[in-house]
Amino acid sequence: MSAGDDLFEALFQAAVEAVIVIDGVGRMKAFNPAAEKLFGYRASQVLGENVSLLMPEPMSSEHDGYLSAYRETGDAKIIGIGREVLCRKSSGALFPADLAVGEGRTGKDRFFVGVLRDLSERKRLQESLAAREAELRLILENSPVATAVLDGEGRILDVNPTWTQQIGPSTEGLSTLEDALAANERSKLAKAVGAATRGVAYSARHRIVGGESTSRIGTLLLAKLPEHEDDRVRLLCQFVDETEQINTERQLRQDREVLAEVSRLSVLGEMAAGIAHEVNQPLGAISNYAEAVRIKLGEGGDEKLRELLSKISSQAQRAGQVIQRLRSVAGSHQLEQASTFELRTLIHDVIELAALDARFVNVAVVTDFPGNEIFAIADIVAMQQVLLNLLRNAVEATAQAGGERVTVRASKSDGRARIAVCDEGTGIAEEHFEQIMQPFFTTKASGMGVGLALSQNLVEANRGRLWFENNEDCGATFYVELPLTSEGVEHDV
Ligand code: ADP
């Protein structure tokens, strides 16, 4: 076959695609330069040869059959349709090509024009993209970090197995990220999703309530993914689970606190043991001497003197008990001899003990009681000791600042018995807030600095709480809170 005119010939020669013309039985009639380049044959080598030369098996052997079937049935398998085919170069190398076939006639002879475009490069690109995608998916699938893809509204589109395992399957009620979060964190997240869709990356600690009842804490990261061809916003969402780490840290902190407490108590315990040893003997002696003098005075002696001697003896014994208790509580941190008592009884007893000191420095100790009785449960001797210590500190501070009175209040607050010792002293300097409860901290020339530390231990050993605050006008108030008796008994007085 020859080109009909010059224009056709020029087109045929200059075409970028390979153009091959065959006759009705498959013989090659035209083979343009692009075809020569693509297949590595010169036109002169292939013209007149069967086009099956350019195909690998099995197509090569079957091609003649296709043509005769078409001639007989007119049933086109490829003509006018085009498809992807595998071709063979002169070197034997195979390559994919896109083949479009058209049919023509000259007189009664039919011919077919095939136009081929080399797909090797595109195929290579597709394959490397697919390989890369598979690799990325593999990384994602095996990543130990829970990862999800969200749309612009925070709906979960895709998740990796770690996400399913830690947070729950996206199909079972967890269709949005919000569903996976603790209720109080949702509004914060909605804002973060909004910001992420505008390209502002987000990273913050969140509590994830998983598909089941699991609850995990970790860092949630949100970042906008590069936009797809479809122009829809997608967010990458990752959750770095830090639950174990946080729990371990919390446990460590608690262990450290317990250790600090134990060492604080053991220092106090040792000191208490020392004091007990040194002081118990003279206290016993005081008690014994007082008793001996009382006996010596006999029945006929001065009544007042005998009473005073008996007071000396009982106070010395009480002091002995206090020291024993201090030793056992500081040493073992155990609740001893809890009993039920009414707050005003305790307060009155202690004020009586402190009254002399207070009068001496011109400070009045007044009480403020509610209209009903409040029964607390605790070791009463230990609580006398605590209150006496608070009262002495309050009187001392009030006297030093030229104040006039110390008020001791009893009340019931939040289901607990509360005693407040309110003074008119200088208050607690802010820089001493942390220290005053520490053992051996004192601002007094002759102070020991163990009163508050010990009081706090005693109160806590009795399931109570001791704390302080500065008053608005002047001075400070120290509070002791104790459990009420289980019956919560209350009587009007
Ligand atoms: P000490 O009385 O031997 O110093 P404490 O443990 O009882 O030991 O008190 C520790 C410190 O707390 C005191 O030195 C004082 O600085 C401060 N403090 C305690 N109570 C009061 C109070 N009511 N007003 C002001 N400061 C106080």
User: What is the per-residue pLDDT for 30?
Assistant: 92
- Kindly write down the DSSP assignment for every residue of 275-288, as one continuous string: HHHHHHHHHHHHHH
| Calpha distance 291→272 (Å, rounded) | 27
In this predicted structure, the answer to whether residue 282 has a pLDDT above a threshold of 70 is: yes
> Which residues partner with 336 through β-bridges?
none
3-state secondary structure of 253: helix
Tens of pLDDT along 421-478? 999 999 999 999 989 998 778 898 877 788 898 889 889 989 999 999 999 999 999 9
In this predicted structure, the answer to whether residue 491 has a pLDDT above a threshold of 50 is: no
**Residue 170 banded pLDDT, cuts 50, 70, 90:** low
User: What is the per-residue pLDDT for 27?
Assistant: 93
398 Cα: distance to centroid of ligand 1 (angstroms): 12
Q: Is 394 in the pocket of ligand 1 (CB under 6 A)?
A: yes
Q: Is 403 in the pocket of ligand 1 (CB under 6 A)?
A: no
142-146, 265-269, 292-296, 422-426: the lowest-pLDDT one? 265-269
| Calpha distance 478→480 (Å, rounded) | 7
314 Cα: distance to centroid of ligand 1 (angstroms): 28
204 Cα: distance to centroid of ligand 1 (angstroms): 43
Looking at this protein, which amino acid is placed at residue 258? V
In this predicted structure, the answer to whether residue 301 has a pLDDT above a threshold of 80 is: no
Within 298-405, where are the H helices? Answer: 303-332, 343-360, 380-400
- What's the mean pLDDT in 148-155? 87
- Who wins on pLDDT, 130 or 82? 130
Averaging pLDDT over each range in 190-194, 288-292, 403-407, which range is the top one?
403-407
Share of the chain above pLDDT 70, in %: 88
Given CA atoms 186, 191, 194, 195 in this order, what sign does their dihedral have? Answer: negative
**Nearest CA, atom 16, ligand 1:** 443
Residue with tokens 């199909």: 171
- The reply to whether omega before 282 is within 30° of 0 (cis) is no
Choosing from 452, 459, 471, 474 the residue with most ligand 1 atoms within 8 A of its CB, the one to mutate for a pocket test is 452
In this predicted structure, the answer to whether residue 271 has a pLDDT above a threshold of 80 is: no
User: What is the per-residue pLDDT for 488?
Assistant: 47
In this predicted structure, the answer to whether residue 392 has a pLDDT above a threshold of 50 is: yes
- What's the mean pLDDT in 292-318? 84
| Calpha distance 95→117 (Å, rounded) | 10
111 Cα: distance to centroid of ligand 1 (angstroms): 114
Ligand 1 closest atom vs CA 394: 23
- What's the mean pLDDT in 270-295? 80
Ligand 1 closest atom vs CA 421: 23
3-state secondary structure of 203: strand
Q: Is 456 in the pocket of ligand 1 (CB under 6 A)?
A: no
286 Cα: distance to centroid of ligand 1 (angstroms): 29
393 Cα: distance to centroid of ligand 1 (angstroms): 6
